[in-house]
Amino acid sequence: MLLIYCPYCEVERPELEFRCGGEAHIARPTDPSTQSDEQWADFLYMRTNTKGIYAERWRHIHGCGRFFNALRETVGDKFLKVYKTGEPKPDLDAIAKEASR
């Protein structure tokens, strides 16, 4: 079973305790009424769906209940890094370089 590290509980836990919350770092428009339908649809539905290193929101729903962010390599399903909500998105190129070493 895939083990995922929760940055709040500070332990590795089985995937069963978690839910994936889709792509991370997507800011909700601060004033939705100024958005065109296309822009709003973009915000709601369009995701990069990267093959490679992807920043995702994960929720430790059956543990501490908190959302956090994780970098997952979508081909091998390997978690490369987890970080707390609010922390900046890591430099994906640097992480990729490190992972390929």
Partner 1 sequence: MVDQVTADLYVPDAGEEPLLAISSVSILRAAPVSRLSFRCRDDARAAAGKAFGVALPAKPLSAETTSDRIAFWLGPDEWMLIAPESDLEAVSAKLEAALESHPTSLVDVSHRQEAILVSGDRAVWLLNTGIPIDLDVSAFPVGSVTRTVFHKAPVMVWRTGEDSFVVEAWVSFMDYVAGLLVQSAGELSAA
Q: Where do contacts with Zn ion occur on this chain (CB under 5 A)?
A: 6, 8-9, 60, 63-64
1 near partner 1, rule: CB under 8 A: yes
Residue 69 in tokens? 């962010």
Q: Which stretch binds partner 1 (CB under 8 A): 28-36, 48-56, 63-71, 74-82?
A: 63-71
Instruction: Answer with the entry of Zn ion, partner 1, none that 11 interacts with (C-beta below 5 to 8 A by kind).
Output: partner 1
* Sole binder of partner 1 in the list 27, 30, 45, 65 (CB under 8 A): 65
Q: Which stretch binds partner 1 (CB under 8 A): 8-16, 24-32, 69-77, 93-101?
A: 8-16
Is there binding between residue 22 and partner 1 (CB under 8 A)? no
Q: Which residues contact 90 (CB under 8 A, 6 or more apart)?
A: 55, 71, 81, 83
- Report the alpha-carbon distance of residue 32 to residue 4 in Å, rounded: 34
Residue 12, CA distances (Å) to 1, 32, 96 in order: 12, 38, 22
65 binds, among partner 1, Zn ion, none (CB under 5 to 8 A by kind): partner 1
Contact flag: residue 90 with partner 1 (CB under 8 A): no
